[in-house]
């Protein structure tokens, strides 16, 4: 698009869960490209499929779910058909992930040294103790942990929430991946610690030159951290644009609704504007737009035909009939 | 048995909390020995006016939830006073408490665990009537009850056919509405909202916040709105209080708060909120470090170790220096401290380094002095250092006190003699000796290093000083006790005798002493803006 090389290209990705009660379409045709040195934010509410996008990219979709259609290309190589061993070499070294809850993502019975050491020796083939220790110290110093020598010997329960998340980040970055997926990296943290972690993530991504996909429900976080934002709703990306463009000209009614529903500091309103209703059930396939029941501007065509992705301005895409000539 | 519903005084606060404290014991071992206390709430005073929303913000573990629960006596406060509508809540017996609880309700954070999964919505909402009796009305109580439940469920935006369903059939936002309907059932005056929207998504949160505001103006409710989210609290509250480690550090009307917050912690909280507007993207300053443990909160101002504006008198102490040395690699393998000191012991405002056998104290002494001079300008902690010294010799003064029975009988023993609890005696003796010996430089006597230890009826005070002067210390101590006894001071009377003997452990040590500091007072900046920070003393321009 702008001369940059894409790191990840997702086309028409569909992930479905085959339950006894029926089929849940968690992801319904995701198109997403992440370029080099770019941080992309994925925003949406609970159950909209943000985390499932990440799991699908890494092929970690839990049973009984599976990818049923579409392609995911990492630097031109198709990931959806890769065999397990080759996929394992992609995870960690090329694409790595930071999970939401660091306290459950770290193994409670191994020390920080063991866990970092395992990743580094598996992916980089370093087994010598002294060399490994040096690498581990470097990885911990990178995420600015105080007294890394002490932390190395500690078990996860001895670390605070912020420290655990720092260890998680050092785990994810220890093999210098070209794409880092951060799934709600600060949701479990306090606001002052959240600030520290976001600052760190931003600095590290800039330093290592990798791309980042930041998944969050917090619009404030993406506004401050990301270059481009994708808004997801009910398993689809409904709008994607550069950060400044999206916040200045939200085109999809859902995006516009989300932006105003968020109480802003220093703005006193008697009532917050709301999006009525609740998120739809993904068990029933949608004929048209999934947002139709909650949308104030819905047209007749909205409940009948699936809106296609159209460009409203260069680099700003929206899936809404209001913009695709329906109105 | 009914509540004494006095005349409603509109100008007066509905709830007044004074110096509320809640300590949770920390237990250890098979027998559950109490080894310390978590100072969850440590002297909180606040009031909630009629029809007002008081916002209470803070990070996890700061004690905001405990304040809410202690006001309702869902946890029993350790100390303090809670007055609801002129009635002292903490002095009530269970019957009276039940009556007053009708008028104070709570909505919990997690709508998934706060509703009984086996009760229908009708039973959940109507449970209050089972305890407090059906709503008044001329009709059949069952009809009255049913009508009231219908009214409630409509008030929170649900419909009648929801009543026969079970909680699992509802989404988070709907469950929170049900919890609110339950809280409203008995016509309360006051509701504690404990993070009512933090489990909800943005679009649902906006609905819930609007509902809370609408109900407040319709029913004249007073809210204590507890949340970690400053944007939400800012939207909802008339006044906002910020808590940090069990204390309120700043309290102000909402508009003053957002524009003229003075406390560095409040400023940091405001600066840390990611703004949903990329144009306001700022170079985050934020604050370093993490919230310390409430089991052993920092001395002085509790925020001082993380404070970007800290002064020399904000409460710097041994623990901070120990942390600094650790962070700067001095207690790791290669540091000067690690080479010379066998053990680093922090004790309040004194940091002691027990030296290794054969180690020369001068290197460590020189290092500490150099660091102190060098870093004075950047790190305010070093401005608070009073003295750095070597100490030779190591003695313990053992005081034999009266039996300990006094502890249990409020200071009076069976024989009728006046006896003090020995912990109190220990402190008194310690401070008296500190006063008379450390201030007087003429005799160059022992320096008291550590606070007293109490074992049974004996109190040990560790003294370190030059070897030759122990006899002089003995004589002057004796004179000191006789003088105090003659002056009729009770603590001296309960000391039966003392001896000075050698203590175990190394003889050589280096100590760094800090100036003892109290917690900062609360300054009133006018217009209901209260701040507990020494910035006010040091001449930061107060808010206009």
Q: How many domains does chain B have?
A: 2
Report the pLDDT value the prediction gives residue B265, as an integer from 0 to 100: 92
Shortest distance between the Cα of B248 and any Cα of chain A, in A, equals 17
Residue B307 lies in a domain: no
Residue B187 has pLDDT above 80, yes or no: yes
Q: Are the beta carbons of B273 and A265 separated by less than 8 Å?
A: yes
The percentage of chain A sitting over the pLDDT mark of 90, rounded to a whole number, equals 52
For residues B125 and B178, give the distance between their C-alpha atoms in angstroms, rounded to a whole number.
Answer: 7
For residues A166 and B10, give the distance between their C-alpha atoms in angstroms, rounded to a whole number.
Answer: 51
Chain A residues in contact with B332 by the CB 8 A cut-off are: 147, 149-150
Report the pLDDT value the prediction gives residue A248, as an integer from 0 to 100: 92
Chain A residues in contact with B214 by the CB 8 A cut-off are: 271
Report the pLDDT value the prediction gives residue B347, as an integer from 0 to 100: 74
**Domain finish residue from B205, B237, B269:** B237
Nearest CA in chain A to B200: A46
Residue B257 lies in a domain: no
Residue B20 has pLDDT above 90, yes or no: yes
Chain A residues in contact with B174 by the CB 8 A cut-off are: 278
Residue B52 has pLDDT above 80, yes or no: yes
Chain B residues in contact with A160 by the CB 8 A cut-off are: 290
If pLDDT is split at 50, 70 and 90, which confidence band does B442 have? Answer: very low
Q: Of B290, B322, B329, which to mutate for an interface test with A (greatest number of A Cβ within 10 Å)?
A: B290
Task: Confirm if A271 and B213 have CB atoms less than 8 A apart.
Answer: yes
Question: Given B286, B326, B327, which is nearest A195 (Cβ)?
Answer: B286
Tell me the pLDDT tens digit for each residue of A18-68: 998 889 999 999 999 999 999 999 999 888 899 999 999 999 999 899 999
Q: Are the beta carbons of A279 and B201 separated by less than 8 Å?
A: yes
Q: Are the beta carbons of B210 and A272 separated by less than 8 Å?
A: yes
Taken as a whole, chain B contains a residue count of: 544
- A92-96, A298-302, B282-286, B428-432: least confidently modelled range: B282-286
**Domain finish residue from B186, B208, B237:** B237
Nearest CA in chain B to A193: B290
User: What 3 state SS string does chain A have?
Assistant: CCCCCEEEEEEEEEEEEEECCEEEEEEEEEEEEEECCCEEEEECCCCCCHHHHHHHHCCCCCCCEEEEEEEEEECCEECCCCCHHHHHHHECCCEEEECCCHHHHCCCCCCHHHHHHHHHHHHHCCCCHHHHHHHHHHHHHHCCCCCHHHHHCCCHHHCCHHHHHHHHHHHHHCCCCCEEEEECCCCCCCHHHHHHHHHHHHHHHHHHCCEEEEEECCHHHHHHHCCEEEEEECCEEEEEEEHHHHHHCCCCHHHHHHHHHCCCCCCCCCCCCCCCCCCCCCCCCCCCCCCHHHCCCCCCHHHCCCCCEEEEECCEEEECCCCCCCC
Q: Are the beta carbons of A278 and B275 separated by less than 8 Å?
A: no
Residue B155 lies in a domain: yes
Chain B residues in contact with A263 by the CB 8 A cut-off are: 206, 209, 231-232, 234-235
Q: Are the beta carbons of A160 and B290 separated by less than 8 Å?
A: yes
If pLDDT is split at 50, 70 and 90, which confidence band does B417 have? Answer: very low
Chain A residues in contact with B60 by the CB 8 A cut-off are: 190
Task: Please tell me whether residues B53 and B182 are part of one structural domain.
Answer: yes
Question: Given B201, B214, B232, which is nearest A46 (Cβ)?
Answer: B201
- A270-274, B95-99, B172-176: least confidently modelled range: A270-274
On whether any CB of chain B is under 8 Å from the CB of A21, the answer is no
Report the pLDDT value the prediction gives residue B393, as an integer from 0 to 100: 61
Q: What are phi and psi of A302, to 5 degrees?
A: -60, -35
Q: Of A195, A234, A276, which to mutate for an interface test with B (greatest number of B Cβ within 10 Å)?
A: A195
On whether any CB of chain B is under 8 Å from the CB of A274, the answer is yes
Residue B521 lies in a domain: no
If pLDDT is split at 50, 70 and 90, which confidence band does B3 have? Answer: very low
Report the pLDDT value the prediction gives residue B240, as an integer from 0 to 100: 95
Question: Given B205, B234, B286, which is nearest A265 (Cβ)?
Answer: B234
Residues 18-47 of B with CB under 8 A from A: none
Residues 144-173 of A with CB under 8 A from B: 146-147, 149-150, 160, 162-163
Task: Please tell me whether residues B227 and B332 are part of one structural domain.
Answer: no
Residue B357 has pLDDT above 60, yes or no: yes
Nearest CA in chain A to B260: A266
Q: Are the beta carbons of B204 and A268 separated by less than 8 Å?
A: no
Task: Please tell me whether residues B364 and B483 are part of one structural domain.
Answer: yes
Residues 234-273 of A with CB under 8 A from B: 243-244, 247, 257-259, 261-273
Question: Given B207, B214, B278, which is nearest A247 (Cβ)?
Answer: B278
Task: Please tell me whether residues B354 and B494 are part of one structural domain.
Answer: yes
Task: Confirm if B340 and B356 have CB atoms less than 8 A apart.
Answer: yes
Task: Please tell me whether residues B212 and B324 are part of one structural domain.
Answer: no
Q: Are the beta carbons of B231 and A244 separated by less than 8 Å?
A: no
If pLDDT is split at 50, 70 and 90, which confidence band does B450 have? Answer: low
Q: Which CATH superfamily is domain A6-94+177-280 in?
A: P-loop containing nucleotide triphosphate hydrolases (3.40.50.300)
Chain A residues in contact with B258 by the CB 8 A cut-off are: 265-266
On whether any CB of chain B is under 8 Å from the CB of A298, the answer is no
Report the pLDDT value the prediction gives residue A72, as an integer from 0 to 100: 95
Shortest distance between the Cα of A220 and any Cα of chain B, in A, equals 4
Shortest distance between the Cα of B174 and any Cα of chain A, in A, equals 10
Shortest distance between the Cα of A206 and any Cα of chain B, in A, equals 15
Cis bond upstream, residue A302 (ω within 30): no
Sign of the dihedral through C-alpha A160, A162, A164, A166:
negative
Task: Confirm if A251 and A318 have CB atoms less than 8 A apart.
Answer: yes
Q: Rounded mean pLDDT of chain B?
A: 81
Tell me the pLDDT tens digit for each residue of B108-153: 988 888 999 999 999 999 998 888 887 776 678 888 888 999 999 9
If pLDDT is split at 50, 70 and 90, which confidence band does B407 have? Answer: very low
Residues 163-222 of A with CB under 8 A from B: 163, 190-196, 198-199, 217-221
State the CATH number of the domain containing residue B194. Answer: 3.40.50.300
Report the pLDDT value the prediction gives residue B509, as an integer from 0 to 100: 75
Residue B146 lies in a domain: yes
Nearest CA in chain A to B278: A223
Q: Are the beta carbons of A45 and B202 separated by less than 8 Å?
A: yes
Q: How far is CA B251 from the centre of its chain?
A: 16
Tell me the pLDDT tens digit for each residue of B246-297: 999 999 999 888 888 899 999 888 888 888 787 777 666 678 888 888 888 8
Tell me the pLDDT tens digit for each residue of B473-517: 677 777 777 877 888 777 777 777 787 777 666 666 788 888 888
Tokens linked to B247: 């204390």
Chain A residues in contact with B334 by the CB 8 A cut-off are: none
Residue B419 has pLDDT above 60, yes or no: no
Residue B165 has pLDDT above 50, yes or no: yes
Q: Are the beta carbons of B332 and A146 separated by less than 8 Å?
A: no
Q: What are phi and psi of B272, to 5 degrees?
A: -80, -15
Residues 83-112 of A with CB under 8 A from B: none
Residue A165 has pLDDT above 60, yes or no: yes
Domain regions of chain A by residue span: 6-94+177-280, 105-176
Task: Confirm if B79 and B21 have CB atoms less than 8 A apart.
Answer: yes
Residue B88 lies in a domain: yes
Q: Rounded mean pLDDT of chain A?
A: 89
- A165-169, B339-343, B525-529: least confidently modelled range: B339-343
Residue B382 lies in a domain: yes
Question: Given B229, B277, B290, which is nearest A193 (Cβ)?
Answer: B290
Question: Given A46, A224, A270, which is nearest B275 (Cβ)?
Answer: A224
Q: Count CB neighbours of B501 within 10 A.
A: 10
For residues B150 and B159, give the distance between their C-alpha atoms in angstroms, rounded to a whole number.
Answer: 8
Q: Of B276, B294, B306, which to mutate for an interface test with A (greatest number of A Cβ within 10 Å)?
A: B276
Shortest distance between the Cα of A195 and any Cα of chain B, in A, equals 5
Domain extent for B215: 13-237
For residues B150 and B161, give the distance between their C-alpha atoms in angstroms, rounded to a whole number.
Answer: 10
Tokens linked to B245: 């480690």
Shortest distance between the Cα of B498 and any Cα of chain A, in A, equals 43
Chain B residues in contact with A262 by the CB 8 A cut-off are: 202, 206, 231, 276
Task: Please tell me whether residues B98 and B232 are part of one structural domain.
Answer: yes
């Amino acid at each position: 698009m702008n001369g940059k090389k894409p790191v990840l290209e997702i086309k028409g990705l569909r992930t479905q869960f085959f339950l006894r009660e029926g089929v849940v379409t968690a992801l319904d045709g995701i198109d997403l490209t992440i370029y080099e040195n770019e941080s992309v934010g994925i925003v949406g509410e609970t159950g909209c499929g943000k985390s499932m996008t990440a799991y699908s990219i890494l092929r970690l979709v839990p049973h009984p779910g599976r990818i049923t259609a579409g392609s995911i290309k990492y630097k031109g190589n198709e990931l959806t058909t890769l065999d397990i061993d080759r996929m394992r070499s992609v995870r960690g070294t090329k694409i790595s992930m930071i999970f939401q809850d660091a306290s459950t993502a770290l193994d409670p019975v191994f020390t920080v040294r063991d866990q970092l050491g395992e990743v580094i020796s598996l992916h980089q083939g370093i087994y010598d103790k002294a060399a490994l220790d040096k690498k581990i110290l470097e990885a911990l110093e990178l995420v600015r942990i105080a007294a890394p020598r002490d932390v190395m010997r500690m078990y996860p329960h001895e670390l605070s929430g912020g420290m655990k998340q720092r260890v998680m980040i050092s785990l994810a970055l220890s093999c210098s991946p070209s794409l880092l997926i951060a799934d709600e990296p600060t949701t479990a943290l306090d606001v002052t610690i959240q600030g520290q972690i976001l600052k760190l993530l931003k600095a590290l991504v800039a330093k290592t030159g990798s791309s980042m996909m930041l998944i969050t429900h917090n619009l404030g976080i993406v506004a401050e951290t990301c270059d481009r934002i994708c808004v997801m709703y009910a398993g689809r990306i409904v709008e994607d644009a550069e950060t400044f463009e999206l916040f200045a000209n939200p085109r999809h009614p859902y995006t516009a609704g989300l932006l105003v529903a968020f109480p802003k500091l220093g703005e006193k309103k008697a009532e917050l504007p709301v999006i009525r209703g609740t998120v739809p059930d993904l068990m029933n396939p949608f004929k048209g737009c999934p947002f139709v029941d909650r949308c104030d501007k819905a047209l007749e065509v909205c409940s009948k035909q699936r809106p296609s992705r159209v460009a409203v301005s260069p680099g700003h895409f929206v899936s809404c009939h209001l913009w695709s000539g329906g109105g | 048995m009914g509540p004494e519903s006095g005349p409603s005084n509109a100008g007066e606060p509905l709830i007044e909390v004074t110096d509320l404290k809640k300590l949770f014991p920390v237990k250890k071992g098979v027998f559950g020995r109490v080894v310390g206390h978590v100072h969850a709430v440590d002297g909180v005073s606040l009031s909630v006016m009629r029809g007002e929303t008081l916002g209470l913000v803070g990070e996890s573990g700061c004690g905001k939830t405990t304040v809410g629960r202690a006001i309702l006596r869902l946890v029993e406060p350790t100390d303090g006073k809670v007055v609801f509508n002129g009635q002292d809540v903490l002095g009530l017996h269970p019957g009276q408490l039940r009556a007053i609880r009708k008028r104070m309700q709570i909505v919990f954070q997690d709508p998934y665990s706060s509703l009984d999964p086996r009760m229908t919505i009708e039973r959940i909402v109507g449970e209050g009537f089972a305890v407090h009796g059906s709503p008044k009305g001329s009709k059949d109580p069952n009809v009255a009850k049913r009508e009231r439940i219908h009214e409630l469920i409509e008030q929170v935006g649900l419909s009648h056919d929801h009543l026969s369903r079970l909680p699992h059939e509802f989404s988070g936002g709907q469950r929170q509405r049900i919890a609110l309907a339950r809280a409203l059932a008995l016509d309360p005056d006051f509701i504690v909202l404990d993070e009512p929207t933090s489990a909800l998504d943005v679009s649902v949160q906006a609905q819930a916040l609007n509902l809370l505001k609408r109900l407040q103006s319709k029913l004249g409710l007073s809210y204590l709105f507890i949340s970690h989210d400053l944007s939400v609290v800012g939207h909802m509250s008339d006044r906002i209080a910020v808590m940090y480690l069990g204390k309120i550090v700043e309290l102000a009307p909402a508009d003053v708060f957002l524009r003229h917050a003075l406390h560095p912690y409040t400023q940091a909280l405001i600066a840390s909120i990611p703004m949903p507007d990329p144009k306001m993207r700022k170079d985050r300053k934020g604050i370093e470090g993490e919230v310390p443990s409430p089991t052993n909160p920092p001395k002085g101002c509790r925020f001082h170790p993380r404070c970007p504006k800290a002064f020399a008198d904000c409460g710097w102490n041994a623990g901070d220096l120990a942390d600094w040395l650790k962070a700067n690699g001095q207690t790791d393998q290669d540091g000067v401290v690690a080479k010379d000191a066998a053990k680093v012991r922090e004790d309040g405002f004194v940091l002691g380094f027990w030296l290794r056998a054969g180690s020369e104290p001068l290197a460590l002494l020189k290092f500490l002095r150099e660091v102190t001079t060098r870093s004075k300008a950047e790190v305010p902690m070093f401005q608070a250092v009073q003295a750095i010294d070597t100490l030779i010799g190591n003695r313990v003064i053992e005081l034999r006190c009266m039996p300990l029975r006094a502890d249990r009988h409020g200071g009076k023993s069976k024989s009728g003699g006046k006896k003090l609890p020995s912990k109190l005696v220990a402190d008194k003796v310690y401070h008296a000796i500190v006063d008379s010996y450390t201030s007087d430089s003429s005799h160059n006597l022992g320096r008291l290093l550590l606070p007293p230890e109490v074992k049974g009826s004996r109190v040990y005070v560790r003294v370190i000083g030059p070897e030759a002067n122990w006899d002089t210390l003995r004589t002057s101590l004796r004179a000191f006790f006789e003088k105090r006894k003659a002056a009729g001071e009770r603590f001296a009377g309960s000391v039966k005798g003392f001896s000075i003997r050698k203590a175990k452990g190394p003889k050589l040590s280096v100590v760094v002493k800090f100036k003892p500091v109290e917690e900062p007072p609360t300054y009133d900046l006018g217009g209901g803006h209260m701040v507990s920070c020494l910035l006010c003393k040091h001449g930061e321009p107060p808010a206009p």
